[in-house]
Structures are given as structure tokens and as C-alpha cells.
Amino acid sequence: MRSHTWQLCIREIEMAEVQTRPCGDCGVAEGEFHQPGCDMERCPFCGGQLISCNCVYKKLGFIHEDFEKGKTWMQVLSELEHALPPEVYKNGLNPEQAKRWEEILDWKGKIPWIIYPNLCGRCGEQWPAMFNVPDDMWNYYVEPRMRDKMLCLTCFKQIKEYVDRAAQKRRAEEQKEGASSDSRIKRILFFESYNLDEKVMI
């Protein structure tokens, strides 16, 4: 129980350090509903951007639920012109339709503004500075399950240091045995000499 309590205390400290930020578009505080027309609001039906998804047309009965299935984005845009009533396609919803859509959203449950910060996948640092390295270098140092995650530069440098250190040890052993690969060594040496400090994105 004492260990569990200690873990809860640590978690509370971590949560206290999470910075709250208003919505970058409509300015509401976290936990509040967005202002109408905010481009940061998410659709409670599909999870996409509310002002650009087609759920409004589906829920109001203008198009069927699987209207987009098997179509490219350009095909969807092209077919919407013929699928929607001309006045809706040209002018948007009328007041009665807009009111009905708001009622549907209220019934489903609007999604409040909550910010989910970018985190380093290794140390958990919030909003790490972005940096840029070649794809083959990223794939060499970062294991497959983590390649779509974000890493801070400090953690990437540390990973690179660990991998390079182990590679140097293996290379020394391979050279003793006369079994080293020239092409592989050249690639590793290029990565080892890569100046990460020059690759930070502003």
C-alpha cells in the first residue's frame, strides 16, 4: 500500500507539471466546448475535424452512411456536388438545418477541448524540439515499433551513442576475425560522424 501511495504522489506531481493551454483557434479553456465554427473541434461521430467531415450531411439524411467508402478524397468532393441539395452545396445549412445539427451534436455529446501534448516516446518530455535526420539513419537507430513515435534530441543522441558503442565493439571483434563487411562499416561510420546538433528544426 505504501508503494502504491508513493506512485500516486509521483503521478500527481507529474500531472501538476502538465501545462494547460487554451484552444489555439477559439480560445476556450481546456474542458470547455469549442465556439461554433472552431477548426480544432473534433466530430463525435468520426473523430475528424468537425467543420470538414461529412457527418453533418449523413446525420441530416443528405447522403448515406457509407458514402465515402472505397472513394478517394477527390472522388468524394466531386460526388458531393451532385449528392447534396443545390442550396446546401452552394450556401451551406439553413438556420433550421443548422439547429437540427446542433441538436444532434448535443445528443451525441460534443467533444471538449483537451490538449494532448507531444511526448518523447522514451523519457516522456513534453513538446520536445523537433530535429531532422535521414530516414535510413532513423530506421537504423530506432526499433520498428518506435519509428512512428516522437523522440527528443537528447534521447536520440543517447540511443545513437549506445548503438554506436556496441557497433564499435562488434566491429573490432569482426575485424579480428576478418569477417567484417566494408559496405556495412561505411554506413555505420557515416551515421557515427553525423552532426545531430546541426539538424534541430526551429
Condensed to tens digits (0 to 9), the pLDDT of residues 144-173 reads: 999 999 999 999 999 999 998 998 888 888
Residue 149 and residue 95 share a domain: no
Count of structural domains within the chain: 2
Domain presence at residue 160: yes
Residue 90 and residue 36 share a domain: yes
Domain presence at residue 6: no
Strand partners, 49: 42
Burial class (CB within 10 angstroms; exposed 0-12, middle 13-18, buried 19+) of 5: exposed
C-alpha cell at 78: 466531386
Residue 144 belongs to what domain range? 135-198
Condensed to tens digits (0 to 9), the pLDDT of residues 166-192 reads: 988 888 887 777 655 555 555 666 666
- What global pTM score does this model have? 0.64
